[in-house]
Structure 1
Amino acid sequence: MARRRYDDQDDRESHDRWLISYADFITLLFAFFVVMYAISVVNVGKYRVLSDALGDAFGGRPDVPQASSTIEQLPLANLIARKRADAARRERERLNTLARELNASLAPLVKNGQVRVTQTGRGVTVEINAKALFEEGRAALGGEARATLGTVASLLRNDPHAIQVEGHTDNLAIANPAFPSNWELSSARASSVVRLFIDSGVAAGRLTAVGHAANVPVAPNTDEAGRVRNRRVAVTILAAM
């Protein structure tokens, strides 16, 4: 009877051994599907982390296809960002050069306060006092005004940037046969400058004329000094980006 009990126990143990192989097979199958999922997601970094972890778990690291060092160190997004930054830097340099040239060419007028050259994120603006360009209440350019604007046009003729010309007035009402209001006066003055630029060789497609009347003052309209500053034409060379 003792012998029979021993054989029964041995037979049971023998029959249960398949569970060990089955468990190993399930583990390997799970690992296989995990690897297949990782491969299906195109992410070299995550694939490498996963493969290293599996290698540690199963006693050795598999060979992982190595992405080129350039792609790893400089992903596509970084390449695009760098190109944009380089383009923005070159654009700033071009506008800086243009601002210096305008300041130098218009130095006498800058010195006596009739012209201001400023640079912002929008571009380079040449602000010219209306007194240096027009007679009061008129939009026809005089001889000296044409010479001044001709100097500006010569610098802009071969420049690729778009140009916006804006006319501004003070807040005193105007009513004459030519201009019923400051809207017409400011628009006509901006158009006169645009026409001169076109005649000087600046491409018409780069130019825009805008009349603001008294709506964009740079000084209070409470005294004559402020009103003189507000009567102006602004030529803005627009930044490309």
Structure 2
Amino acid sequence: MNEEIEGGAEPTAPVWAAFGDLMAALLGAFVLILVGVIGMQLEASSRLADEIKQRQLETQRRKTLEQALAGPLAAGRVTLVDGRIGISGNVLFAVNSDQLQPQGRALLRSLAGPLSAYLRDRDQILMVSGFADDQQVHAGNARFADNWELSAERALTVTRAFIEAGVPAGSVFAAAFGSEQPVSSNADEAGRAKNRRVEIAAVPRPAGPAAHAKAAAGAATGASGGPAGAAGKAHE
């Protein structure tokens, strides 16, 4: 009788052993999955923390830039529309001149630091655009041939001033638009004064050195001649 019981019990041992192996394998798989999930959560948390930190830094830079612009905005010396900083030509230059006035140079110096910080860690560069009114060149004015030359020289002057104030040379370039893209009517002096301006805007950085050189060459071409039929006349 005992032999029959013992004989019948022998097949059960391998079953329990196999079941134990299966449970061990399942437990191991569960541990691996759990470790993987925890790792993914930690990675996601790390990315989220980095994103939050980056947003906080960007917010702080934006606030610094807004604070730098607060005084000039309140005084009416600059405008801020859709992320473009507009500075009246009367603030920066005397009429028919590309030489910075003291108040204009001081204003650009006050903006250089916040603008540099704003561009830091961003894939953007500053485009300094020069604009003029549509008044004709008066007799005896040999300094500028037309509005394209006037607006180009003013944009270059502002660009150089930013570089001298600490903005990296590779993060700023000049462009000229002559009398194109007016923001007011040229029918009266008040409107023409608004059109004689310099605008500063952050734009996407070119894909590579070749594209950057091409963009710079395009800006230089526009400054010297501009598209056919787009050039205006310099204001004396």
| TM-score (normalised: structure 2) | 0.57
Shift of 1:96: 2.8
2:67 aligns with one of 101, 104, 108? 101
Equivalent-residue separation in structure 2 for 1:144 and 1:194 (angstroms): 16
Q: Quickly say closer, same or farther: Cα 1:219–1:89, change in 2 above 3 A.
A: farther
Gap change, CA 1:158 and 1:113, over 3 Å in 2? closer
Is 1:137 aligned to residue 96 of structure 2? Answer: yes
Equivalence map 1:150-165=2 (5 Å): 150-161=109-120, 162-165=125-128
CA contact (8 A) 1:95 1:239 kept: no
Cα distance in 2 for partners of 1:168, 1:93 equals 31
| Alignment-derived partner of residue 190 in structure 2 | 225
Q: Percent identity?
A: 28
> Please, which of 131, 135, 147 is the counterpart of residue 168 of structure 1?
131
| Higher Cα radius of gyration | 1
Cα RMSD of the aligned pairs, angstroms, is 3.5
Letter in 2 for 1:145: G
Aligned partner letter, 1:187: A
Q: Work out the number of aligned pairs and report it.
A: 170
Query: If the length of structure 1 is used for normalisation, what is the TM-score?
Result: 0.56
How does 1:200-211 map onto structure 2 within 5 Å? 200-211=165-176
Over 3 Å counting, the alpha-carbon distance change for 1:71 and 1:204 in structure 2 is same
User: Match for residue 12 of structure 1?
Assistant: none
SS at 1:93's partner residue? helix
Taking the TM superposition and a 5 Å limit, the aligned residue runs for 1:1-241 are 89=55, 93-94=59-60, 96-104=62-70, 107=71, 109-120=72-83, 125-161=84-120, 162-174=125-137, 176-238=141-203
Tell me: higher relative CO, structure 1 or 2? Use CA pairs within 8 A at least 6 residues apart.
2
CA change 1:183–1:94 in 2 (3 A) is farther
Check whether the contact 1:168–1:232 (CA below 8 A) recurs between aligned residues.
yes
Helix, strand or coil: the match of 2:119? coil
Runs of at least 4 residues off by over 4 Å: 65-73, 81-92
